[in-house]
Amino acid sequence: MKNWIIVGATSAIAEAVCRLWAVRGYRLFLVGRDQSRLDTLGKDYQVRGADAVHSFVMDVNDFDQHAPCWQAAEQQMGRVDGIFIAHGTLPDQSACEESVQQALTEINTNGLSIVSLCTLAANQLQQQGQGTIAVISSVAGDRGRQSNYVYGAAKGIVSIFLEGLRNRLYSKGVQVTTIKPGFVDTPMTADFDKGGPLWASADQVATGIVRAIDRGRNVAYLPWFWWCIMTIIKHIPEFIFKRLSL
Amino acid sequence: MASPYISWGRYPLQEQRGRDYHWLPQQLPEQGPYLPQGNARSYGDSCMLQGGEVLSSRFLRRFIGFDPETGVLRCEAGVTLGDILAVAEPQGWFLPVTPGTKFATVGGAIANDVHGKNHHVAGTFGCHVTQFELLRSDGERKICTPRRNKKWFQATIGGLGLTGFITWAELQLKRVPNSAINAENIKYRNLTEFFALSRESEADYEYTVAWVDCLAAGDHLGRGHFSRGNHARPVQPRVAARERSLSMPLVPPLSLVNQYSLTAFNWLYYHRQHQRVHYQTLHYDPFFYPLDHIHHWNRMYGPKGFLQYQCVIPMDASETAIRELLERIERTGHGSFLAVLKVFGDVSSPGLLSFPRPGTTLALDFPYQGHRTLHLFEQLDEVVVQAGGALYPAKDAHMKAEHFQRFYPNAAKLQALKDPNISSSFWNRVMETSS
Ligand SMILES: Cc1cc2nc3c(=O)[nH]c(=O)nc-3n(C[C@H](O)[C@H](O)[C@H](O)COP(=O)(O)OP(=O)(O)OC[C@H]3O[C@@H](n4cnc5c(N)ncnc54)[C@H](O)[C@@H]3O)c2cc1C
Ligand SMILES: NC(=O)c1ccc[n+]([C@@H]2O[C@H](COP(=O)([O-])OP(=O)(O)OC[C@H]3O[C@@H](n4cnc5c(N)ncnc54)[C@H](OP(=O)(O)O)[C@@H]3O)[C@@H](O)[C@H]2O)c1
């Protein structure tokens, strides 16, 4: 039996992951902002075979709710085997440049909320001596670029935080998986032109996520070719990188 | 990823915007023109709108409920036929009707009132739809059933997406003893044998269809493989699905489908089987969806894309007209990779504009070669019109307005119920003269 908390459950990628988990008969505890959407998802997973579906309404920036959320999950499911964190926003970079408040809000949503959730989860799962923490970071967190560095910095927080957590929890039997997708066709990218070989569907990425979690992978670039792209990008010397319009 | 809103034939390319609904829409945009779209598995331009916007339901993929006791299933319009099988098949239920791709959505299957290999016993997809909700651009929502809002029910089934946006639908699935198929593949020598086999198989086989070697001529004209089957018995072991599928990763600069590859393919395919009859118990995937095994196979036709030509000919004219069609194709040397023949039954279709009607349907794929292809189609149209047949809008990119209105005498009734904000490239073309 697998009992998962899914934070950002209304995200298109999280939904595609939950569809796969529902077929396996998992128990799902969905966390999101909109009760009626969570209900819609719950019915779907039930039809697809989920053992049970629960929901919890929370804005991730309401940090005080994080502990009650975990408690509710434990109460509903008896035990938590894993937490999968998928919420996120793609900020308007120029708005973040103009407004400190805007930039900090984005860092909260995409970075600090995850620090809070994962700290809680780590302590609980460490006690249990078992479990998985899987979080969607992004290839954008591998290097700062002028077009998107506030989001990139928040994802950078997530990636490095998870790296440390993995190191800490390795000997405690808790698995930490960092997921780094490239371009995915979801509402987050509704304004982009989506033709072209770099774009993946949420289903493709979800298949990769489920596999990475099953296999206990540390870091998963999805699709895999982003590993090659990011390896090159990370190795461009800074004196050149700063001149590029990326 | 391929650009999501282009039709399957990749011809004609259209300038259009796309909007995805991720949650059931509360209302449609105030500003038209637009067109609902599913997974764009239609071949020509009936799922596209030049100069407008397509409202895609491809992400409306949620089940709303399924009763494993009764087989009644309710889901959002973008749920695919494959999604339904994944849920229903392990519980002993099956699609009552399925086209040759499981990537079609429920909304698309309703709007084209699609048919499958069991048309002669089960009719069209629409025969098994128990209700759906239609959202109109004026904000009105109509629950349509065979009794309630009957006029809208009939206009929307086979209604080409023009009457409004289908948000969700309910279907009656079919109980099957086993989802695997006991299939027989019979090599036959000419068109006359095809009709004999069809007649002989009608009563005892739920599924029938034939692949035709469309390059064979003379005494061999119409030769091919006749495939027929029934669901396996409950005691037979379940057959496992193929794990991996293949993918055509990109569009080659030239069509891989040309005279040479076609000749070789048709010859090899016809002769692949030595014995006259080959028996096999198959998983339902390769039996119903052999083409789905290769993702994006449509790309092999290159950047110019391809067209399908699908017609139905009334039974009494069938043999003569189909012979004539195959001869005309053979004469131009314009072969088709996939040529499919099937005899429809007389179960009446619920839709105002449904394509299936008693007779024989022939479907062929042709790489688009400009004038040459369109000229061939004109010649084929002559035969279809003369025989009192019809062409299938879901596969069409060339039908003339005068022909359409002859094939579909209810077109004016649909026009009257059409949503004022909705249109399609197809509709604009075939209703030219009357609007
Ligand atoms: C390999 C292959 C094999 C096929 N075999 C068969 C076959 O055997 N028999 C057969 O009948 N067809 C067959 N087809 C055609 C296909 O089944 C139909 O074109 C089907 O309608 C495609 O569904 P779709 O979801 O992709 O819809 P689309 O192609 O996107 O749209 C089809 C129509 O449905 C309308 N529509 C879509 N969603 C909605 C909605 N939510 N509300 C209102 N209208 C909507 C669109 O406006 C359009 O008019 C085949 C196609 C392929 C690619
Ligand atoms: N799409 C891409 O190209 C891409 C690439 C790399 C990484 N990612 C990452 O993948 C993850 C999933 O994104 P997606 O592509 O699936 O996009 P999505 O469908 O837009 O999902 C984003 C989700 O985050 C939720 N969310 C945002 N702010 C929230 C808040 N304050 N409290 C609670 N929930 C909040 C949204 O909830 P509501 O429904 O309530 O708005 C939404 O469900 C994100 O972490 C994203 O950064 C995406």
Other CB atoms within a 10 A radius of the CB of residue B327 amount to 15
The ligand 1 atom nearest the CA atom of B112: 21
C-alpha–C-alpha distance, residues A25 and A169, integer Å? 27
pLDDT at position B184 over 80: yes
Residue A126's pLDDT is: 98
Tokens of B182: 């006991």
How close B206 gets to chain A, by Cα (Å)? Answer: 28
pLDDT in tens, A169-215: 999 999 999 999 999 999 999 888 877 889 999 999 999 999 999 99
- Give the three-class secondary structure for A200: strand
- Give the three-class secondary structure for A204: helix
Residue B2's pLDDT is: 57
* DSSP per-residue string spanning A88-136: -----HHHHHH-HHHHHHHHIIIIIHHHHHHHHHHHHHHHHT-EEEEEE
pLDDT at position A19 over 90: yes
Residue A1's pLDDT is: 59
Q: Do A47 and B66 touch (CB under 8 A)?
A: yes
Which sign does the torsion angle of CA B262, B264, B265, B271 carry?
Answer: positive
The ligand whose atoms approach the alpha carbon of A117 most closely is 2
Ligand 1 mean position, distance from CA A204 (Å): 23
Q: Do A43 and B62 touch (CB under 8 A)?
A: yes
Closest residue, chain A, to B86 (C-alpha): A48
Domain with A164, as residue range(s), is: 3-241
Q: Is A108 on the interface with B (CB under 8 A)?
A: no
Q: How many folded domains does chain B comprise?
A: 1
Q: With respect to residue B345, please indicate whether it lies within any of the assigned structural domains.
A: yes
Quick one: which H or E segment has residue A197?
none
Report the residue among B19, B41, B75, B120 best suited for mutation to probe ligand 1: largest number of ligand atoms under 8 A from its CB: B41
Ligand 2: residue whose CA is nearest its atom 22: A11
What CATH number did the domain enclosing B306 receive? 3.30.70.2520
Q: What is the mean pLDDT of residues B194-209?
A: 97
Q: Give the pLDDT band of residue B433 (cuts 50, 70, 90).
A: low
pLDDT in tens, B65-95: 999 999 999 999 999 999 999 999 999 999 9
Q: What is the mean pLDDT of residues B357-366?
A: 97
pLDDT in tens, A35-51: 999 999 999 999 999 99
Q: With respect to residue B33, please indicate whether it lies within any of the assigned structural domains.
A: no
Percentage of chain A lying above the pLDDT 70 cut: 100
Ligand 2: residue whose CA is nearest its atom 17: A188
Which residues 6+ apart lie within 8 Å of A51 measured at CB? A1, A25, A26, A27
B-contacting residues of A 40-79, CB under 8 Å? 40-41, 43-44, 47-49
- In chain B, residues with a C-beta closer than 8 Å to the C-beta of A23 are 86
Q: With respect to residue A246, please indicate whether it lies within any of the assigned structural domains.
A: no
- In chain A, residues with a C-beta closer than 8 Å to the C-beta of B1 are 185, 194-197, 199-201
Domain with B238, as residue range(s), is: 181-401
- Give the three-class secondary structure for A223: coil
Ligand 2 mean position, distance from CA A205 (Å): 14
Report the residue among A113, A186, A198, A230 best suited for mutation to probe ligand 2: largest number of ligand atoms under 8 A from its CB: A186
- In chain B, residues with a C-beta closer than 8 Å to the C-beta of A222 are none
Instruction: Name the average pLDDT for chain B.
Output: 94
Q: How many folded domains does chain A comprise?
A: 1
Residue B181's pLDDT is: 97
Q: Do A185 and B1 touch (CB under 8 A)?
A: yes
- In chain A, residues with a C-beta closer than 8 Å to the C-beta of B23 are 37, 40
Q: Give the pLDDT band of residue B435 (cuts 50, 70, 90).
A: very low
Cα–Cα distance list, A173 to A100, A125, A127, A134, A214 (Å): 40, 9, 10, 14, 15
What CATH number did the domain enclosing A226 receive? 3.40.50.720
Q: What is the mean pLDDT of residues B205-227?
A: 94
pLDDT at position B268 over 90: no
Ligand 2 mean position, distance from CA A9 (Å): 9
Residue B247's pLDDT is: 84
Q: With respect to residue A61, please indicate whether it lies within any of the assigned structural domains.
A: yes
Do A87 and A186 contact (CB within 8 A), yes or no? no
The ligand whose atoms approach the alpha carbon of B308 most closely is 1
Q: Measured from the CB, is residue B214 less than 6 Å from ligand 1? A: no
Q: Measured from the CB, is residue B183 less than 6 Å from ligand 1? A: no
How close A48 gets to chain B, by Cα (Å)? Answer: 6
Tokens of A81: 């085997």
**Which ipTM was obtained for this model?**
0.94
How close A102 gets to chain B, by Cα (Å)? Answer: 26
Q: Give the pLDDT band of residue B241 (cuts 50, 70, 90).
A: confident
Q: Do B87 and A49 touch (CB under 8 A)?
A: yes
- In chain A, residues with a C-beta closer than 8 Å to the C-beta of B65 are 43, 47
pLDDT in tens, A135-174: 999 999 999 999 999 999 999 999 999 999 999 999 999 9
Residue B1's pLDDT is: 52
Residues touching ligand 2 (Cβ under 6 Å) are A 8, 10-13, 32-34, 59-61, 86-89, 109, 136, 138, 181, 183-184, 186-189
Q: Measured from the CB, is residue B104 less than 6 Å from ligand 1? A: yes
Between these two residues, B295 and B115, which has the higher pLDDT value?
A: B115
pLDDT in tens, B42-64: 999 999 999 999 999 999 999 99
Ligand 2 mean position, distance from CA A61 (Å): 13
Is the pTM higher than 0.90? The answer reads yes
The ligand whose atoms approach the alpha carbon of B46 most closely is 1
Ordered alpha helix ranges (H), chain A: 12-23, 35-48, 66-77, 93-98, 100-107, 113-128, 149-169, 202-214, 225-235, 238-241
pLDDT at position B244 over 80: no
pLDDT in tens, A54-84: 999 999 999 999 999 999 999 999 999 999 9
Residue B24's pLDDT is: 98
Q: Which residues of B touch A (CB under 8 A)?
A: 1-4, 20, 22-24, 59, 61-66, 86-87, 250
Q: Do B64 and A44 touch (CB under 8 A)?
A: yes
Percentage of chain A lying above the pLDDT 90 cut: 96
Q: What are phi and psi of A40, to 5 degrees?
A: -55, -45
Q: With respect to residue B36, please indicate whether it lies within any of the assigned structural domains.
A: no
Cα distance between the two ends of chain B: 38
